[in-house]
Amino acid sequence: MNRRQFVGAGMLLPFTFLMPEIARAGAKLNEDTSAVQAEALNTLLDLSLPDLHGQSVTLRQLGADHLTVVNFWASWCAPCVREMPALDALHKENQKVNVVGISLDTVANIEAFARKTPVSYPLLTAGAGKISLMRQLGNPKGGLPYTLVLDKDARPVATVLGEIDMDSLTAFVKRAA
């Protein structure tokens, strides 16, 4: 390693340790929802998805007349799992807000996860085949977690790609609900 490489590596070293903390800080809400395709949103709203009790439900049924926070997640996604307690608290504390988790995982994995980490909001199973739909809903990279916030008329009002900054989500919910 020559001197220039050594100095360059030394300058990057602090960032190596900071990256997990930066990632954990949470992603801010994006109120530009122009990337959410109307046809994909209608498909999502009418898509019949099984809950953990085997009942098929649609987002239209779950989100009627409320602000709805739709959180796409998977049991193997660490940031997804980290944000679930805060989403659960939001669901419990605010009667004007529905939180719905849509898993891109298998039913068996979600059932096992829910036994270990129960939440008060509905968990629906879409499976990995719905990643293309999620991309059309404003998440072109297909990353998880991904959150789509819908107003009481089921119109998109915000998105979040990555672990949610709960302070910004809570402030947004207070304004929008």
**What pLDDT shows up at residue 63?**
78
pLDDT digits (tens, 9 = 90+) for 112-144: 999 999 999 999 999 988 999 999 999 999 999
Residue in 80, 99, 81, 76 with CA at minimum distance from that of residue 89: 99
- Report the chain's terminal Cα–Cα distance, integer Å: 57
- State the pTM of this model: 0.84
* Domains in the chain: boundaries: 26-176
Separation of alpha carbons 148 and 129, rounded Å = 18
The Cα–Cα gap between 148 and 136 comes to: 12
pLDDT, one tens digit per residue, over 8-26 is 444 433 433 333 333 445 7
What pLDDT sits at residue 177?
A: 81
Contacts of 14 (CB under 8 A, 6+ apart): none
Q: How far apart are CA 47 and CA 18, in angstroms?
A: 40
Specify the pLDDT at position 20. Answer: 39
Which of 99-102's residues contact partners 24+ apart within 8 Å by CB, and which partners? 99/68, 99/69, 99/71, 100/59, 100/62, 100/63, 100/68, 100/69, 100/70, 100/71, 100/124, 101/71, 101/73, 102/49, 102/70, 102/71, 102/72, 102/73, 102/126, 102/130
Task: Read off the tokens for 101.
Answer: 């988790």
Average per-residue pLDDT for the chain: 87
Q: Encode pLDDT of 87-108 as tens digits.
A: 999 999 998 999 999 999 998 9
Q: Write the DSSP assignment of 13-28 as a string of letters.
A: HHHHHHHHHHHHT-BP
Higher pLDDT, 149 or 7: 149
Q: What is d(CA 67, CA 133) in angstroms, rounded to the nearest whole number?
A: 21
Contact by Cβ (8 Å): 29, 172: yes
Average pLDDT of the segment spanning 25-40: 91
Q: What CATH architecture applies to the domain 26-176?
A: 3-Layer(aba) Sandwich (3.40)
